[in-house]
Each structure stands twice: as structure tokens, then as C-alpha cells.
Amino acid sequence: MASVQRIASGRQDTEKRRVSTHVLVVIFAILIGFPFLFMVSTSLKSFEEVFVVPMKLFPSELRWDNYTRVWEIVPFAQFTMNSLIYTLSITIGEFVIGAASGFAFARLNFPGKRFLFFLVLISFMIPGEITLVPRFILLSKLQWINTYPGLIVPELSSAFTTFMLAEHFRSLSDEIFEAARVDGAGFFRQLWQIAIPISKPIVSTLLLLAFVAHWNAYLWPLVVTNSESMRTLPIGIQQIRSGLTLPEWQLVMAGTTIVVIPLIILFILAQKQFIEGATQGALKG
């Protein structure tokens, strides 16, 4: 009888924990989702409704023309093209360089290997803001200010990507690479035909994180560009404000929504790989 009561009590505790977990998930989902809902809702309001007190969460009339006005106020098409070139170039470049260097640190033996990897780790401690002035001076001497090379090249390396891939490649089975070497596979063949294909979850995660980080980048594009023809979307949102006589927040929110939508679509498409990569890293940690 006592064992039956313990089993029943255990089931009740398990059910309570499950309900508590779901309640917490719902609360956090509301906290995270509300700013996005507020942004989209505000982007569809009229100028008058934005300043109504008390605040109305949903507009009485959907003002889709706010989105067309954004494209008229600033050259949003040019900003979008610049952001795509900037983000895709750096995301691909970061991954190629990070994969090659990470695989070298993980699978090759060469003089100074530990010291060089130590320098990679040390670079995590250096805030990017510290290198802004030296990089700007160097680019100025190269006459790369306000150019795509100046915007992209200094951002191509990522210590985070190198470190994460090096640690992941170390965890892969040695037998796979030994068999590949016996079969005549060189460094790049082992990397691109063996290591990368069996590392899709972490590769997808790193690509997604890099894309989001550079798509949202504000400081570096602001420093290294000085004309509208080279500006990116985050700077374009700021220019929406400066291009208006009154603070028309519905237009700012419309521009912000345009910037955020590609990231949401990308996450939905890569959600499975992203979760697998994050889980894989957590289990190994």
C-alpha cells in the first residue's frame, strides 16, 4: 500500500514539475515575443495612434503605406544590397578561414601550434572597440575608407569560429581521418569532404550566429563608411529618424520590421540544425 502511495506521489510531483515548466516557458515566450509584437503593431499605426494615451496595442486601421514611405524617405534598396553583400561576404569568409584554421589546430602538428592557439584565445579578451582607431588609420592609408574591401576585409577573421570548430574537430574520431590519409586524402580533402559534412549542426549554428551578428552590425559600418551609397540597414534605420521633421516612430518600426524579417525566416529554415548544434555543444561542454 505504501509503495502505491509513493508511486502516486511521484507521479503528482512529476506532473507539477511539468506544469511549472510549461508555465515558465509561456511566461518567457510572452516576455520575449511582446517587443516583437509591439514593433509590428506600431509599424501599422498612424502617427496619431502612436502617441495615444493610454497606449493601444493594436491599431484601429492597418497602415501598410508606412512600409512604402520608408523606402521613399531613405534609399532602403541600396541599404539592403549593402547589408547583403557585407553580411554574406563576412559570414562565408569567417567560416572558410575559421574552418581551415580550426582544422589545422585540431588535426595538424606544427611548430608554435599551442602558442598560436593561445593567441586566438587571448583575442577573446580584446574588445573590438579598442581596435577601431588602428583599423581606421590602416584603412585610410590603404584608401579603403567607404569601400567594400574596407567594410569587409577587417571583419573576415573570427576567433570564436576558429575556437569552436577546433574544439569540435578534436572530438571527431581519429580513425576516420587515418583512413582518409591512407586513401590519399590531403588536408583540404579531409576538411571539406569529411570533417565539414559530419559537422552540419555546429556549422549551421555558427553560420546563423555570424549572419545575425553582421546583419545587425552598426558600429563598424558607421565608422568605415561616410556616404549613403555604402550604408547598411541598421544605419539606415537611424537615418529614417534624422530624415524626418517629427519623430514618426511608426516609420522607424516599419524599417526595423523589414530588417528583422529576414532573420526570422532564416531561423525558421535553420531551426532544426541550430537546435542540434546548440544541444551538441551543451552536451560536449
pLDDT at site 123: 87
Per CATH, domain 67-284 is 1.10.3720.10: yes
Residue pLDDT, tens place only, 201-230: 889 889 999 999 999 999 999 999 999 899
Residue 247 confidence (pLDDT)? 76
User: Which distant-in-sequence residues (6+ apart) come within 8 Å of 99 by Cβ?
Assistant: 161, 165, 191, 195, 196, 203
Q: Is the pLDDT of residue 246 over 80?
A: no
Taking 60 as the threshold, does the pLDDT of residue 67 lie above it? yes
pLDDT at 12: 67
Band (9; pLDDT cuts 50, 70, 90): low
**Is residue 14 pLDDT above 80, yes or no?**
no
Q: How far apart are CA 98 and CA 76, in angstroms?
A: 32
pLDDT digits 0-9 by tens, 177-200: 888 888 888 888 999 999 999 988
pLDDT at 282 > cutoff 50: no
User: Is the whole model's pTM more than 0.95, yes or no?
Assistant: no
pLDDT, mean of residues 230-250: 84
Closest CA to 233 of 212, 248, 264: 212
Give the mean pLDDT of 42-51.
Answer: 89
Listed ranges 80-84, 170-174, 225-229; the one with the highest mean pLDDT: 80-84
Exposure of 185 by Cβ count < 10 A (0-12 exposed, 13-18 middle, 19+ buried)?
A: middle
Q: Considering the chain, what percentage of its residues have pLDDT values greater than 90?
A: 46
Of residues 189 and 279, the one with the higher pLDDT is 189
- Note the pLDDT of residue 13: 64
Confidence label for 6 from pLDDT (cuts 50, 70 and 90)? low
Q: Which residue has the higher pLDDT, 201 or 11?
A: 201
What confidence score (pLDDT) does residue 285 get? 46
pLDDT band at 11; cut points 50, 70, 90 = low
pLDDT of the residue at 180: 87
Q: What is the arithmetic mean of pLDDT over 62-90?
A: 92
| Arithmetic mean of pLDDT, 15-20 | 80
List the one residue out of 197, 19, 167 whose CA is nearest residue 102: 167
What's the per-residue H, E or C state across the chain? CHHHHHHHHHHHHHHHHHHHHHHHHHHHHHHHHHHHHHHHHHHCCCHHHHCCCCCCCCCCCCCCHHHHHHHHHCCHHHHHHHHHHHHHHHHHHHHHHHHHHHHHHHHCCCCCHHHHHHHHHHHHHCCHHHHHHHHHHHHHHCCCCCCHHHHHHHHCCCHHHHHHHHHHHHHCCHHHHHHHHHCCCCHHHHHHHHHCHHHHHHHHHHHHHHHHHHHCCCHHHHHHCCCHHHCCHHHHHHHHHHCCCCCCHHHHHHHHHHHHHHHHHHHHHCHHHHHHHHHHHHHHC
